[in-house]
Amino acid sequence: MSWLLAALLAVPVLGILYQQFGALRDRRRFPPPGRLLDGLHIYEQGEGPRDIVLEAGVAATSLSWQRLQPVLARQARTLSYDRAGLGWSRRAQTPRTAPNLVAELRRTLDAAHIRRPCLFVGHSFGGLLLRHYAAAHPEDVAALVLLDPLVPLEWNPLTPEQRYRLSRAVFLSRWGAVLARFGVVRLALDLLVSGFRLIPKAIAKASSGRGSGVTERLVGEVRKLPPEVWPMVRSHWCLAKSFTSMADYLDQIPGACALSVDDAALSRIPVTVISAETSPLEVIEEHRRIASCSARGRHLVAKGSGHWVQLDRPDIVIEAVGDLGYT
């Protein structure tokens, strides 16, 4: 029995070592492409007379703009960044509430010497965050382009089903952090990249049950990014930090949606809202209402696009930015 006990103890130790060596290898292979400011990773590209700031979705990073940022950077200075706890950024030091995220964004722009007022482009949760930013700092905002932005009615008030789905997503994210610490996530992804699909699918099914479908959808979205970016995304999601941070952000979504949004500042700036064709009708109507808050508001529906408009239809985003004089 002693050999059996030793074998059982060896498995988690080997998993931890596998994870540590893999993380060390990833740090060497994929150093931050940008620079770190107060622990946050920012990626700047391009030069020009104006600045464009890109605000990603709730658990996305600067990598989610890799199909769009190089094009925008031909005529403007662009900045994308990783929110605290995600990508190459350090772990968050404060709760992931909307006011804290707005304050962090302002400090980041100050540290990066971003010229303001500037154009802000926000996707999903980033779109909701930018509405709060415009209310708090209207002098910073020259224009907004919101890509299928999250709207409060989607998560406020929470239905019992939504409450269950969200709590399960938070639980699975925290469970993912445990699996990442013991190398299970890294093993599954390494096998998947090597062509072995059966074992990774079995791991996903055993660890998340029905949540494995969410994993498959996320993988589908990642595949829309340039292939050279895939290993970087994979390296981030082998880290416990990424899963813990995702849980922290998801846990704050109801609070962010319950927080009143003051759109008065939108009346004085151009606002373009681009809805995904797949968005529910009530969400598209709310997008149209947000655009109407501006005297120079536009609402567009991106035909053939899912939620990740910047990946499915970067052309329509580039055209919208160009209409504002930034390309």
Q: Model pTM greater than 0.75?
A: yes
Q: Give the model's pLDDT for residue 190.
A: 81
Would strands 35-37 and 40-45 be described as parallel, antiparallel, or unpaired? antiparallel
pLDDT tens by residue, 169-206? 999 999 999 999 999 999 888 877 666 555 545 555 55
Per-residue pLDDT of the chain (327 residues; tens, 9 = 90+): 566 555 556 678 888 999 999 999 999 999 999 999 999 999 999 999 999 999 999 999 999 999 999 999 999 999 999 999 999 999 999 999 999 999 999 999 999 999 999 999 999 999 999 999 999 999 999 999 999 999 999 999 999 999 999 999 999 999 999 999 999 999 888 877 666 555 545 555 555 555 444 455 556 667 889 999 999 999 999 999 999 999 999 999 999 999 999 999 999 999 999 999 999 999 999 999 999 999 999 999 999 999 999 999 999 999 999 999 886
158 burial (CB, 10 Å; 0-12 / 13-18 / 19+) is middle
In sequence order, the β-bridge partners of residue 298 are 272
Cα–Cα nearest to 110, from 34, 61, 38, 32: 38
CATH of domain 35-157+262-323: 3.40.50.1820
Q: Give the model's pLDDT for residue 211.
A: 45
Please answer whether residues 189 and 238 qualify as being in contact, where contact means their C-beta atoms are separated by less than 8 angstroms.
yes
Can you give the length of the chain in residues? 327
Query: DSSP assignment, residue 158?
Result: P
- Give alpha helix (H) positions in the chain: 2-29, 69-72, 98-112, 125-136, 160-181, 184-193, 198-208, 212-222, 230-236, 240-251, 253-258, 281-292, 309-312, 314-323
Cα–Cα nearest to 177, from 59, 308, 31: 59
Q: Give the model's pLDDT for residue 8.
A: 57
Element (H, E) at 147: strand 141-147
